[in-house]
Chains A and B, each alone.
Chain A
Amino acid sequence: MNTRQQTKLIYSWYGKPLSSDRKLRTSQYKGIFITSESTKTETCIQLGDFILVEGVNADQPYVAQLMDLYEDGAQHKRAVVQWFCRLEEIPQNKRKLLKREISAQEVFFDQILGYDTDIAAETIIKSIMVLPLHLGEELPVITLNKEQTFYVKQSWDGKCFKVLSPDTFSKLKEANKKRGVITNSSKAFVPSDILTPVKKETDSVLRSATKPKNVDMEIESKHSASKSSLAKERHSQRVAKNDIKTPTARKKLELSSPTRSKGRLLGSEVLGLLDDDCDAIAPLKTSATKRKVKFTSDTSGSPPKIPCSNDKAKSTSETAEHHQRFSDTIRLSPYTRVKDFSGKDKNLHEKDDVLSSVGYQKPSSQSPVLTPRSRRACAQKTSALIAEQISMLDQEDFLSGSDSSYSSSSEEEEDDDVPCTPEKKTKSSRVFSTPKSSRKSAVHTPVKTMKKTPSQGTPRTPRNATPEIPRRIQAAQEPTSVLEEARLRLHVSAIPESLPCREEEFQDIYNFVESKLIDGTGGCMYISGVPGTGKTATVHEVIRCLQRAAENDELPPFQFVEINGMKLTDPHQAYVQILEFLTGQKVTATHAAVLLAKLFSTPGPKRKTTVLIVDELDLLWTRKQNVMYNLFDWPTQKHSKLIILAIANTMDLPERIMMNRVASRLGLTRMSFQPYTYKQLQQIISSRLKGVKAFEEDAVQLVSRKVAALSGDARRCLDICRRATEICEFAGEKRTPEIVRMAHVIEAIDEMFSSPYANAIRNASLHEQIFLKAILAEFRRAGVEEATVQQIYHHHVALCRMEGLQSPTVSEIMAICSRLGACRLLLVEASNKYLHMRVRLNLGQDDVMYALREE
């Protein structure tokens, strides 16, 4: 959501460079800090940690393991990762290979070579858990923190799933454990000069120590109001206990916190330096994290509970677990002081318990904190607070969460912020500003899900309805005769094995897309041609071939999106459709445009190239042409990886309807499909009829020549042939000729191309014909191709007298006129003008004469 975009994140190295390569001018690091400017929270990610990386879809950030961190020659922070695949990233057709139900938390160890493992460090969102499991193993029961814990059972190499090799398995396992150790050791690298601010910070801790408590109280009181679950009830009892505590008790607590922090300072050498960037939040964090740790050590000793922590607090619980496993002396980088506290302050124990249990019972996500309307607001607040305090490891999305909770909770906090800001500034040398757009995703996730749930029940959303036409009851009959077989093959919808006569165009388009795919760049191509010349068919064939090549690993994989101007209700709907294809999100057109622009303008590490086909391009025209502009602007962006194949009918479309800036972006890669010549049409038909002897050679040639002379439209050609088989079948019922001859084809052509007017005139009634004659006479008299009914009526009466017929009344004349007008043999005005209604012929006078004379 936008809140995320507003918060600015700063990425800074953790510790000194481990090693550096002089030649490449790169230096490697052990970890990275992610600091939010607005909330002053900081998290640290170490090598070996599992992380979420921004992806195409904001709802589905990529999962990866951080393998290496380095700064390249251009001072860009880079990271090397080992990818994990979500189920969504695996092609639909391959999912079947799994033969089991996959939970949303399961990921696959990614062994596809195609993905770029070198990413910009700024795309890292936060750290998470990935636990290796054996294939048969059940997923641990997860009550909390679903979005932060993943399991890996198998690996995926683009073709098949494999069980994790013992090697990888142990490595992953190791990585989970190692985190604590690494952190510990990494402390050595912390520059000593950072130590000084720590002291200052303790002051702030002192000052702010009252704050967390207030918040806690608030939370508790709120919490007691909601008694939906047993757990809550239990909790509220405890809260009550806490509430009973007189103000003095509170004071005691207040007192305790300063001592706490002091003790920490004394006891552990450098606790503070971890907080150095944490400023105001630090105190808050301290208290809560500590509680959490306490809790974990008290109640949850068993490993399966690890993931059961609150959404954002997960990493904490994780670290807490490490604490248990390793000795107390081992310190997790951000949490060292927490650890200390938990050791020292036993008097807070009870409260800790309460708080952390709250955290446990509420598997709420971060974002609900933002929304006070949520029913479980108090619970979420609590968890949010806890999370906040623990936030050092979690970064981005969490920042925004804490952001808002800050503003909502108390002003005291803001006071606390103030003294810390200067401190912050002193460190600005390390600040690495990140592109705003890079933090967008994770916060969305929970909000989205929250919003969706209520809407699913209502009938308003056809979202959950599956679009499907009912199945047929009786099976479709397969063709039995040669003619039926031929007809089936001649149907336009039948996909031939190859597209004859478009080899050159095919090759050109294929080469264009292939080169762009290999380069990983973007580009546009404009394809024009009259209807029925195989534009769309050829492009689809190209895509099919490319997809096959990509499957065989000859090409990097790509996504294929198709939109059709005619299938959109409004040009702006194009954005919606593209975004839905790419990410599955359904948003409004304006929002989609923003998201797409972001998507194509920022470097996506794991994003595949997108091949976008825009059919019927001319219908995307709007007055400001912003849809076309955007479409053609994206491929020119550096990171877009977007290839556009635009299809339309007119060759000079860019010049005719596009503004210069749009036409310029479309570029000059153009291709035009010429109408088929008769030889090509003949080849198309015969290739479709290969192996079926249904047509005489001459008949095919006749059709081809006829169509080529008229339009060169292959569809027309196929339709005529199909009709000819019907005529043949119909005529041949008695004699069984079973082959389409010239006569049949001629009949079919006549049926389709003969002008209907002559026939209509010939079959008109006598007076209607006389009326037409009267019109011709009046035209000739007046020399103008328009006459009123009154004038024609006089001629009509005269003609009737000549023929010896009773002359019709005016009403009858009007009826005749309106009948001919309805058939559009005549063009007539609105009939309320009666005799003064003007009449014109809708066809040439000669045609009328010809049709009338024949009788």
Chain B
Amino acid sequence: MRPPPRPSSTRAPASLRELRMPPMKSTMSKRKLKESVEESAECISQVQKILRERFCHYCAAGKLFGMKQQYSHLLELLKRTTVHGESNSALIIGPRGSGKTALLNHVLEDLREMNQVRENLLEVHLNGLLQTNDKVALKEITRQLQLENVVGDKVFGSFAENLAFLLEALRRGNRTSSCPVLFVLDEFDLFVHHKNQSLLYNLFDISQSAQTPVTVIGLTCRQDILELLEKRVKSRFSHRQIYLMNSFDFKEYIKIFKKQLSLPAEFPDEAFAQKWNNNVQHLSEDKTVRDVLQKLFQHTKDLRSLHLLLMLAVSAVTTHHPLPTAADLQEASRQHSSDSRANIVHGLSVLEICLIIAMKHLNEVYDGEPFNFQMVYNEFQKFIQRKAHSMYNFEKPVVMKAFEHLLQLELVKPLERPSARAQREYLLMKLLLDSSQIMEALQVYPNCPTDVKQWAASSLSWL
């Protein structure tokens, strides 16, 4: 998933300007300051534009890291298809964010620039999320190939007619005279679920027979993809698999970090670019930055998370804070790794916190067995009666209301769907929080009464 677009470059500095103003003022005269602010505002917006494009449209402009071999394999494959008219099929397999689409796009871009290839390759791009069945897929293929039964933007005719037409079209061609066709099947694993896998069968069958040269490239993140193919389809697939594994170590990761953050040589303001790149170099040697990166690297090698982190850090850059610092990165990392559910707990009322603690105790007592509202209420009553000094004894409907709020926040989840017959008090529930999460949340909960904290630590604390 792509990170949501950052606030635009003009707005971000405006909101942050006042915060960062005082330290700058002391060093510069007012007039000078204004000029340099104007100047650097230009640069900053440029920088943010470049980096935003780099991080958000990863596949289009991003660079390839650690996939030289795969790149040359794929390039050779497609080149042979276009130049020699050789049919092929291949799968590009790799976890999400490992650069499958980026690799393909790079190869296609380079391919289109070659002289022998230009205008000599028809491309058909399908996506398993869009072409959910063969009927839709066939129409899309016909449309993209601009075959003769396409009228305007629409393909007419029944499913059977379309299939027959397309197969006939592809069958008529031969290796030397027809224009090669490249089929790119994104989310390849979803095509496997089509009825009889007939689209895949036909595509692979064409690629294995003396018809129009086609190359079928599938992109998927599933490692078990070959097991999903039907045996006939599997036999027709050439078993060429290109794996993208993020197989780089931390040193390379740092290099990637530097490359991703540094400005290109063609940046208009050379001085600023120089300054920025020096800063990046400096950052990459910084201990805290390295720690932050190390932590991220240990969690995931996915470059998209790195981009997300950098995006958070870079959006802190303003005219008065023109270069990102280690602190920015640390803050970004903190945001990046924060626990979303625990954050919700911070915003709960004391009563709701108490209910959660009651549930936690129930979980401990009954070893994770489901509970209902009545049990929670009884537990809460016990606490109120024996221990609580600061807590007001709420009416049952009020407690119920609080409980339902927790339900809405999905901190509690009913085991079965609430039906009209069952009373709400007795619906079985489960708590969707771990006790460690609750304790952590309580640590940072503002103005938490001490008796509640004590109760949370041990259900037997009143003894």
Q: Which residues of A contact B (CB under 8 A)?
A: 459-462, 465-479, 484, 487-488, 491-495, 530-532, 566-570, 573, 576-577, 616, 619, 649, 711, 713, 715-716, 719-720, 722-723, 726, 730, 751-752, 756-757, 759-760, 763-768, 790, 793, 797, 805-806, 808-812, 815-816, 819, 822-825, 833-836, 842
A570 to B169, CA, bound (A): 20
- The one of B116, B210, B300 in contact with A765, judged by C-beta atoms closer than 8 angstroms, is B300
CB nearest to B234 among chain A residues = A531
Which of A461, A465, A711 counts the most B-chain CB atoms under 10 A from its CB?
Answer: A465
CB of B338 within 8 A of CB of A493, answer no
CB of A494 within 8 A of CB of B210, answer yes
6 other A-B residue contacts (CB within 8 Å) besides A476-B175, A477-B83, A568-B163: A459-B156, A467-B148, A467-B168, A479-B84, A531-B234, A835-B434
CB nearest to B206 among chain A residues = A493
Q: How far is the CB of B69 from chain A (nearest CB, A)?
A: 9
CB of B338 within 8 A of CB of A809, answer yes
Q: How far is the CB of B433 from chain A (nearest CB, A)?
A: 7
- 9-residue interface stretch from B236-244, B282-290, B312-320, B371-379: B236-244
- The one of A476, A531, A760 in contact with B176, judged by C-beta atoms closer than 8 angstroms, is A476
Q: Does B145 contact A (CB under 8 A)?
A: yes
Tell me whether A476 and B239 are in contact in the complex, defined as CB-CB below 8 angstroms, given that A469-B178, A531-B232, A823-B221 are known contacts. Answer: no
Q: Does B196 contact A (CB under 8 A)?
A: yes
Q: Does B432 contact A (CB under 8 A)?
A: yes
Contacts of B420 in A (CB 8 A): none
Question: In the complex, which residues 229-253 of chain B have their Cβ closer than 8 Å to any Cβ of chain A?
Answer: 231-232, 234-236, 238-241, 243, 245-247
Contacts of B234 in A (CB 8 A): 531
Give 1 or 0 for each of B92-106: 1 = CB within 8 Å of chain A CB. Answer: 010110000000000
Tell me whether A566 and B232 are in contact in the complex, defined as CB-CB below 8 angstroms, given that A462-B149, A756-B93, A808-B337 are known contacts. Answer: yes
CB of A473 within 8 A of CB of B120, answer yes
- The one of B164, B170, B245 in contact with A760, judged by C-beta atoms closer than 8 angstroms, is B245
- 9-residue interface stretch from B27-35, B339-347, B445-453: B339-347
Contacts of A459 in B (CB 8 A): 151, 156
CB of B243 within 8 A of CB of A467, answer no
- The one of B164, B169, B232, B339 in contact with A577, judged by C-beta atoms closer than 8 angstroms, is B164
Q: Does B172 contact A (CB under 8 A)?
A: yes
CB nearest to A478 among chain B residues = B84
CB nearest to B145 among chain A residues = A469
CB of B223 within 8 A of CB of A757, answer yes
Contacts of A477 in B (CB 8 A): 83-84, 116
CB of B241 within 8 A of CB of A751, answer yes
Contacts of A836 in B (CB 8 A): 413, 430, 432
- The one of B177, B295, B368, B436 in contact with A806, judged by C-beta atoms closer than 8 angstroms, is B295
- The one of B148, B212, B299 in contact with A808, judged by C-beta atoms closer than 8 angstroms, is B299
Q: How far is the CB of A92 from chain B (nearest CB, A)?
A: 13
Which of A573, A619, A763 counts the most B-chain CB atoms under 10 A from its CB?
Answer: A763
Tell me whether A719 and B238 are in contact in the complex, defined as CB-CB below 8 angstroms, given that A470-B179, A492-B208, A763-B245 are known contacts. Answer: yes
Contacts of B232 in A (CB 8 A): 531, 566, 616, 649
Contacts of B245 in A (CB 8 A): 759-760, 763
Q: Tell me the count of chain B residues lying within 8 A, CB to CB, of chain A.
A: 95
A808 to B440, CA, bound (A): 13
CB nearest to B142 among chain A residues = A462
A816 to B96, CA, bound (A): 12
Contacts of A471 in B (CB 8 A): 177-179
Contacts of B83 in A (CB 8 A): 476-477
A-B contact pairs, 24 of them (CB 8 A): A461-B156, A465-B148, A467-B148, A469-B169, A470-B178, A473-B179, A479-B84, A491-B87, A493-B175, A531-B234, A566-B205, A569-B159, A569-B160, A719-B238, A751-B240, A751-B241, A756-B93, A756-B223, A763-B301, A810-B341, A810-B434, A811-B338, A833-B413, A842-B224
A384 to B299, CA, bound (A): 87
Tell me whether A823 and B210 are in contact in the complex, defined as CB-CB below 8 angstroms, given that A459-B151, A468-B172 are known contacts. Answer: no
Contacts of B165 in A (CB 8 A): 462, 465, 467
A619 to B170, CA, bound (A): 22
Contacts of A576 in B (CB 8 A): 160
CB of A715 within 8 A of CB of B163, answer no
CB of A472 within 8 A of CB of B85, answer yes
Contacts of A763 in B (CB 8 A): 245-247, 301
CB of B238 within 8 A of CB of A835, answer no
Contacts of B209 in A (CB 8 A): 492-493
- The one of B86, B224, B239 in contact with A491, judged by C-beta atoms closer than 8 angstroms, is B86
Q: Does B161 contact A (CB under 8 A)?
A: yes
CB nearest to B152 among chain A residues = A459
Q: Does B324 contact A (CB under 8 A)?
A: no
CB of A715 within 8 A of CB of B339, answer no
A492 to B206, CA, bound (A): 11
Q: How far is the CB of A812 from chain B (nearest CB, A)?
A: 6
- The one of B170, B240, B295, B302 in contact with A469, judged by C-beta atoms closer than 8 angstroms, is B170
A461 to B368, CA, bound (A): 64
A730 to B302, CA, bound (A): 29
Contacts of A472 in B (CB 8 A): 85, 120, 177-180
A495 to B209, CA, bound (A): 9
Contacts of B145 in A (CB 8 A): 469
Q: Does B181 contact A (CB under 8 A)?
A: yes
CB of B85 within 8 A of CB of A811, answer no
- The one of A488, A569, A759, A765 in contact with B301, judged by C-beta atoms closer than 8 angstroms, is A765
